[in-house]
């Protein structure tokens, strides 16, 4: 399946189901990780994915990064004493130091280093904080391996890659990255910036179903078209990762079918 075709199918699947983007991402990394894995969760938020990495998959090492002080403190309390788990109260970017950070109290998951285009601008309540900033290369200094990096930073993705050059070239993890105009434009980047940066690092991009996106033209057709979530995969592993994700559509279809059955059970028509 071509990535653009997958997007069109997703549009149909998201009507009247409880399928959400975070669940779709979880489907993907569950096929890529096991109990030996070392994971970096950048943008831990409320621990939605960290809980899966730590308590369900049981990854050997999980570092959770969260810049919002209250969120970071809650995560540190939740995972205190768990072997192999660390929580870092900082943002990640192209350099180490201090930075201003825009906390959207009306929608905390849309907080970031820059003020972005918010999904509900009338409900946005912006508070400027100052937080620690670290490079991914500093966070992972001395790591023997790194299998997966989840990045959800509301537009700061390319800056994170700029501070991760040594780690990505040395350890070759798979990364999941959100990339949409509402975020990347706030940092002065363009639609093709992530594609170009991935190529410089000898990585390729694919969707969460294992469909590679080999050209800038195809990337441009997919980006900002309903779908924000992509995998950035070392070129030497593109075929392997694609094969591991081959069953993803089956999981999505199971959710859609179950949602349809639930609606019928409640006496609802498909469009209700």
CB distance 247 to 208 below 8 Å: no
What span, in angstroms and rounded, lies between the C-alpha atoms of 44 and 22? Answer: 12
* Selection from 90-99, 138-147, 148-157 with the highest mean pLDDT: 138-147
Q: Is residue 9 part of a domain?
A: no
Confidence of residue 257 (pLDDT cuts 50, 70, 90): confident
Q: What is the pLDDT of residues 41-64, one digit of tens each?
A: 999 989 999 999 999 999 999 999
List the beta bridge partners of residue 233.
Answer: 204
Helix residue ranges, H only, 14-108:
21-30, 48-51, 69-79
Given this model, what pLDDT does residue 138 score? 95
pLDDT in the model for residue 225 = 86
Which pLDDT value is given to residue 223?
92
What percent of the chain lies above the pLDDT cut of 90? 60
In this predicted structure, the answer to whether residue 269 has a pLDDT above a threshold of 60 is: no
Measured between alpha carbons, how far is 53 from 30 in angstroms, rounded to an integer? 9
CA proximity to 158, closest of 132, 193, 182: 193
In-domain check, residue 36: yes
Question: What digits encode the pLDDT tens for the residues 203-245?
Answer: 999 999 999 999 999 999 999 988 889 999 999 999 999 999 9
User: pLDDT at residue 270 above 60?
Assistant: no
Tokens 């002080």 locate to: 69
213 lies in some domain = yes
Rounded CA-CA distance 127/113 in Å is 11
Q: Does a structural domain hold residue 268?
A: no
pLDDT for 36 beyond 80: yes
CATH of the domain at 64: 3.40.50.150
Residue found under tokens 């993907």:
28
Residue 175's nearest CA partner among 39, 48, 64, 56 is: 39
C-beta separation of 155 from 116 below 8 A: yes
Q: Give residue 189's Cα distance to chain centre.
A: 18
Burial of 151 (0-12, 13-18, 19+ CB in 10 A): buried
On whether the CB atoms of residues 138 and 162 are closer than 8 A, the answer is no
Other CB atoms within a 10 A radius of the CB of residue 211 amount to 22
H or E element: which one contains 148? Answer: strand 148-151
- 217 occurs within a structural domain: yes
Residue 166 has pLDDT above 90, yes or no: yes
Q: How many domains does the chain have?
A: 1
pLDDT given at position 4: 84
Domain of residue 173: give its range.
Answer: 21-96+135-248
């Amino acid at each position: 399946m071509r990535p653009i075709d997958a997007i069109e199918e997703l549009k149909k699947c998201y009507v009247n189901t409880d399928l959400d983007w975070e669940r779709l991402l979880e489907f993907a990394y569950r096929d890529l990780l096991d109990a030996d894995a070392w994971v970096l969760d950048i943008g831990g938020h409320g621990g939605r994915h960290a809980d899966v990495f730590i308590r369900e998959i049981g990854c050997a090492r999980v570092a959770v990064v969260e810049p919002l002080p209250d969120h970071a403190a809650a995560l540190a309390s939740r995972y205190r004493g768990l072997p192999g788990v660390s929580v870092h109260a900082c943002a990640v970017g192209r350099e180490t130091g201090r930075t201003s950070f825009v906390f959207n109290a009306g929608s905390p998951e849309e907080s970031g280093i820059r003020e972005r285009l918010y999904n509900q601008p009338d409900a946005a309540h912006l508070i400027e904080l100052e937080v620690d900033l670290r490079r991914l290369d500093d966070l992972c200094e001395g790591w023997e391996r790194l299998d997966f990096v989840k990045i959800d930073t509301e537009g700061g993705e390319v800056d994170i890659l700029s501070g991760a050059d040594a780690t990505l070239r040395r350890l070759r993890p798979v990364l999941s990255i959100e990339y949409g105009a509402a975020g990347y434009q706030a940092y002065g980047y363009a639609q093709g910036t992530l594609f170009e940066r991935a190529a410089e690092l000898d990585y390729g991009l694919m969707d969460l179903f294992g469909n590679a996106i080999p050209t800038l033209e195809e990337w441009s057709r997919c980006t900002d078209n309903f779908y924000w979530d992509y995998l950035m995969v070392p070129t030497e592993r593109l075929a392997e990762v694609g094969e591991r994700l081959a069953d993803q559509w089956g999981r999505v279809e199971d959710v859609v079918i179950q949602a349809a059955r639930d609606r019928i059970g409640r006496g609802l028509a498909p469009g209700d």
